[in-house]
Chains A and B, each alone.
Chain A
């Protein structure tokens, strides 16, 4: 008798089915929209030198605070730097840092969640208490405090976001493992004498990682927002590297007359977030289909 465990939305019965099923290869409109939007953004960032003739840090004080149009499509800032160039090169910085900042929490959190969910016991209790400690703090407060104690710089931003971000993945994967390890395929693998590391990596991981991947999409949005916010607060990617957060902060003092200086970089973040959200929702839809 097969015990059917009721699982909410995202539980592919078998990862092999998920990959092979021909229906799954079809792109749904949400996924497609997300991919197109992000594709455009990434291309704009990659081909920045072809799109704009100005360097992102080239100053022209004789042409500062120029309005959009004419020589500078989106105008210039208070130092006469081309806004479009800073926007495109800023995309390079923010997309790269935002994406990388999710990689380490994803790996560390998932691996920890996998191990403690499977083994349980004292290690599980200890790690989960650590998780409780970290989530007692508001994300921004802890990240800002950590960036402060670690000192400025991109590496420390990664460190701070990792120190706070791993808990979400750990909780998600652990929760999935707690259910998955009781399922027949896992019990069978265990009874068959397969070594633990192999059960974890080959049998459990493919089944439990989907939720973490889905979460990582919204997490990339959060991490880009965090980098933009840190940039705004002057704690982000060190100048003169162009960064959307610093652009928003620079424009703040000219908010009334030169509103575009603040509005445009913010809109860039919104579009990026929209693309990533669509991509995440599209992945959820696609997994549900299988």
Chain B
């Protein structure tokens, strides 16, 4: 019951955030310098096209009316129509979302697979050589441009060793799985510096706690202590730390998709930017922000079910 109430409360808290997202995205078009309609159309600009665009975005209406119309359309799932493809943005998004979800899932998984062992290694002997070595990871990792990491992985594992496809997404499940490895690894490398740092701290906290001291006093071996007591708690911290950095994870996928030519939302957004297809950019930004909110909610729920204290306390 407490869990259900927790879910209800979290959903309720989401409303202002979702409202905020629509507000930010709505105002994007008004940031365009000069007349948005003719600027957007650029060399496609004809008086008729400009007039049609003004009607499409309701630019001739008062501001509040424009926003209410926009909100109404978004709530109904209508994200407008693409200039370039002459088709609904919603359909374009639906066609591209699976590659992004693949990358998000695999990226999150790889991030944990890379970060948790490193953090455990560092925390198992605080201050020892291995701890110092792992602490270098954030120092170097934070400064690595994600695009560059992707290209380096491409160079070694795809071009030189031929282990994985260089780019693209394939058509079958197996091809998807093969194509997603290097992009997901890139995402994991981008996230590792942040995850390792916070996980190491939270693991050290666990190892300092009273119950670990008790367990140690009872004579439990170091390895057993790490696996049975610390790692269980580390699972909770991993989910939390990942949850806090979801927006960062999603942001990284946009860039990584471009490097590996994955046909996802990030690629769609960048393609639309190059072809100045404003409705698609706007639609993708909204979908990505909502995606962040949903994944955030999912990690909160996972956290609550892993840690029985959360649902009651929050």
Contacts and interface: CB of A to CB of B under 8 A. Distances in A.
A and B assemble together:
yes
Q: How large is the interface on A (under 10, 10 to 19, 20 to 34, 35 or more residues)?
A: 35 or more
B269 A144 contact: yes
Contact of A248 (B24, B151, B154, B274): B151
Interface in A167-198: none
A129 B16 contact: yes
Given A141-B285, A259-B155, A136 B33 contact: no
Contacts of A221: 142-143
B145 A276 contact: no
B254 A139 contact: no
Contact of A129 (B20, B21, B258): B20
Nearest to A251: B151
Contacts of A141: 250-251, 254, 269, 285, 288-289
A269 B292 contact: no
B255 interface: yes
Interface stretch (A44-52, A62-70, A107-115, A148-156): A148-156
A273 interface: yes
Interface of B: 16-17, 20-21, 23-24, 28-29, 31-33, 138-140, 142-148, 151-152, 154-155, 159-160, 247-248, 250-252, 254-255, 258, 269-270, 273-274, 278, 281, 285, 288-289, 292-293
Contact of A133 (B21, B31, B270): B21
Contacts of A228: 145, 147-148
B32 A149 contact: yes
B151 A138 contact: no
A274 interface: yes
29 contacts: A132-B16, A133-B20, A133-B21, A134-B24, A136-B21, A138-B247, A138-B248, A140-B254, A141-B285, A141-B289, A145-B281, A148-B273, A149-B29, A150-B32, A218-B142, A229-B145, A229-B147, A234-B274, A245-B147, A248-B145, A255-B159, A262-B151, A266-B145, A266-B148, A269-B144, A270-B140, A272-B143, A273-B144, A274-B139
B155 A255 contact: yes
B273 A256 contact: no
A210 interface: no
Nearest to A222: B142
A252 interface: yes
Contacts of A149: 28-29, 31-32, 278
Interface string A193-231: 000000000000000000000000010010001001100
Given A138-B292, A235-B273, A255-B154, 7 more contacts: A138-B289, A140-B251, A141-B285, A149-B32, A233-B255, A255-B155, A273-B140
